[in-house]
Amino acid sequence: MSTSKSSGGSFAPLRQPVFAVLWTATVLGNTGSFMRDVASSWLMTDLSAAPAAVAMVQAAGTLPIFLLAIPAGVLSDILDRRKFLIAIQLLLASVSITLMTLSHMGLLSVSALIALTFLGGIGAALMGPTWQAIVPELVPREDVKSAVALNSLGINIARSIGPAAGGLLLAAFGAAVTYGADVASYILVIAALVWWPRAKNADDALSEGFFGAFRAGLRYTRASRPLHVVLLRAAIFFAFASAVWALLPLVARQLLGGDASFYGILLGSVGAGAIAGALVMPRLRQQFGADGLLLGSALVTALVMAALSLAPPQWLAVVILLFLGAAWITALTTLNGAAQAILPNWVRGRGLAVYLTVFNGAMTAGSLGWGAIGEVAGVSGTLLIGAAGLFVAGLVMHRVKLPAGDADLVPSNHWPEPLVAEPVPHDRGPVLILIEYQVEKQHRAAFLHALDELSQERRRDGAYGWGVTEDSADPEKMVEWFMVESWAEHLRQHKRVSQADADLQGKVLAYHSGAEKPVVRHFLSINRPGKVPA
């Protein structure tokens, strides 16, 4: 991470040269991707007018992110991120080169378009968590939130430019030229990544392997109740809101009577609305809070879907989609920000990958579901059904409040190193940790309540089993136990404990009445030799 001090402000990260170059390259790369998506979505309406087939393009792009986001988050933590990103850009460029070639030769079919869109989705799945994970390397710590916001703004700048430019190129020169422009954008991104003077990863004796890191990420997700709330809110919102994205090409062509360039203008209007929404969001957040913003996003999106179902004039549809863009960026930023705020650095990539899995899973399932409904109810009827569902879901889910995200997640490093008689191999395990407390009878209930809260921290940081026992001869003597899969994982656990966790442990220790600190013991599994036959 850069060590230079920030001068403050929303655009302060752009004063860091590396961030500015990579951010600019990302905007150009995303612009090319939106151009490619416009060409693919519109070409599908030429190849097949069936709503299910058109929705399949949306599903093919998001399904890989649903399937691969978590493995991608793990890879982003254990591989050289710059080389990994370059490899991903090469994959995406090869997809667009193939699309360009097939389109130019007139050989592009429904199956080929869906398959290549799926490959492009694989690249997006691998890139998403990795690109988010490098942000703390590019800017000072105090500028990370501003950098994340600028990344969202950059995506929507690309969204406002790419679809319109793609639609114009598609209408004037055809799909092959549009795909070629996307290839050129990947070349620029690769050049920026090659230029990035990234320091070589330092050797870490406790570095995680793929499967160990994968399990640790899933354990954290399973034990984090605040993350469960964010994931639930995201799944419900995006499942209903996906209807407008899945059917928008048919809305442009069938309901509004537009061509490819008009479809690009509609998407550009969404991007422009998103930029405007991003600029006014800080003021709105102060007034309404995160839950109010998410409720407003759901209600506005539902109203937009209902309005589009009425086949308004083209100029009015462009205006309506400005509000869709503002609502969409508000929901995305609110949910992503909530996830970022509750994730510690050691698991941030994997936690965000789980969030992306839920987001894209909801978009994929929603796209397929709304496409199937569209076959029966038609485009207008499907939009009305989706609008009604989102309206009701928004009001109901408003009762499930998002986590505040104000806990101090900086590592506390307050656990002492475990005592060992001799060096312990890192792969030895499992490890059983026992912590002995002395708790007076009148404090028993409060102690157990605090210990239950602490159990979630133990599980998040690496424990796969946890419990509490009492001494049959002395009920005031209680032992907390938890198990970790290996000695290395327990040493990592020492590094993962945050300041907020330390405060929680302090609450538990307040009920310990012993003269000394609680006794902590570590027990290692013994690999017994096979039995000798009699």
pLDDT by residue (tens digit) across 119-163?
A: 888 888 888 878 877 877 788 766 766 677 677 778 777 866 787
- CA neighbor of 164 nearest in space, from 322, 347, 69, 34: 34
Res 530 pLDDT > 90: no
Q: How many CB atoms are located within 10 Å of the residue 48 CB?
A: 15
Residues 6+ apart with CB under 8 A from 400: 229, 232, 233
DSSP labels, 10-44: TTGGGGSHHHHHHHHHHHHHHHHHHHHHHHHHHHH
Least confident of 99-108, 158-167, 210-219, 238-247: 158-167
Enumerate residues 6+ apart whose C-beta is below 8 A from 56.
44, 114, 367, 368, 371
User: Pick the residue with more confidence: 204 or 346?
Assistant: 346
* pLDDT, tens only, 197-212: 876 655 555 667 778 8
Asked whether residue 349 carries a pLDDT value surpassing 80, the answer given is no
Question: What percentage of the chain exceeds 90 in pLDDT?
Answer: 29
Query: Which residues are CB-contacts of 134 (< 8 A; sequence separation ≥ 6)?
Result: 22, 81, 85
Radius of gyration of the chain (CA): 26
Task: Please report which helix (H) or strand (E) contains residue 191, including its range.
Answer: helix 175-195
Taking 60 as the threshold, does the pLDDT of residue 518 lie above it?
Answer: yes
Q: Are strands 477-484 and 519-524 parallel, antiparallel or unpaired?
A: unpaired
Which residue did the predictor score with more confidence, 505 or 406? 505
pLDDT at 254: 86
User: Residue 205: what pLDDT?
Assistant: 59
Q: How many residues does the chain have?
A: 534
Identify whether the C-beta of residue 121 lies closer than 8 Å to the C-beta of residue 66.
Answer: no
* Averaged pLDDT for residues 18-44: 86
Average pLDDT over the chain, rounded to an integer: 84
Contact 116, 95 (CB under 8 A): yes
Residue 523 reports pLDDT greater than 90: yes
Q: Is the pTM of this model over 0.85?
A: no
**Considering only 20-29, 146-155, 224-233, 429-438, which range has the smallest mean pLDDT?**
146-155
Starting at the edge strand that comes first in sequence, how are the strands of the sheet with 477-484 ordered? 463-470, 477-484, 431-438, 519-524
Which domains are assigned to the chain?
13-197+210-397 (1.20.1250.20), 431-524 (3.30.70.100)
Whether residue 405 has pLDDT greater than 80: no
pLDDT of residue 511: 92
Task: Determine the Cα–Cα distance for residues 178 and 353; give it in Å rounded to an integer.
Answer: 30
Which pLDDT does position 529 carry in this prediction?
Answer: 55
DSSP per-residue letters across 125-155 = HHHHHHHHHTHHHHS-GGGHHHHHHHHHHHH
Phi, psi at residue 65, to the nearest 5°? -65, -40
- pLDDT of 202: 53
Question: Three-state SS across 39-100?
Answer: HHHHHHHHHCCCHHHHHHHHHHHHHHHHHHHHHHHHHHHHCCHHHHHHHHHHHHHHHHHHHH
Out of 199-208, 424-433, 450-459, which region has the weakest mean confidence (pLDDT)? 199-208
C-alpha span between 64 and 121 (Å, rounded): 5
Confidence of residue 108 (pLDDT cuts 50, 70, 90): confident
Lowest mean pLDDT among 146-150, 168-172, 291-295, 396-400: 146-150
Q: What is the pLDDT of residue 191?
A: 94
Asked if the bond preceding 430 is cis, omega within 30° of 0, the reply is yes
Q: 3-state DSSP call for residue 435?
A: strand
- Residue 275, pLDDT score: 79
DSSP calls for 237-271? HHHHHHHHHHHHHHIIIIIS---HHHHHHHHHHHH
Question: Distances from the Cα of 392 to the Cαs of 82, 237, 294, 388, in angstroms?
Answer: 44, 11, 13, 6
- Whether residue 50 is predicted with pLDDT greater than 80 in this model: the reply is no
**Is the pLDDT reported for residue 58 higher than 80?**
no
Q: b/e for 432-471, b at 16 or more Cβ within 10 A?
A: bbebbbbbeeeeeeebeebbeebbbbbbbbbbbebebeee
Q: Is the pLDDT of residue 44 over 80?
A: no
Q: Is 529 left (phi over 0), alpha (psi -120 to 50) or beta?
A: beta
* pLDDT reported for residue 533: 45
Question: Region 88-99: what's the mean pLDDT?
Answer: 91
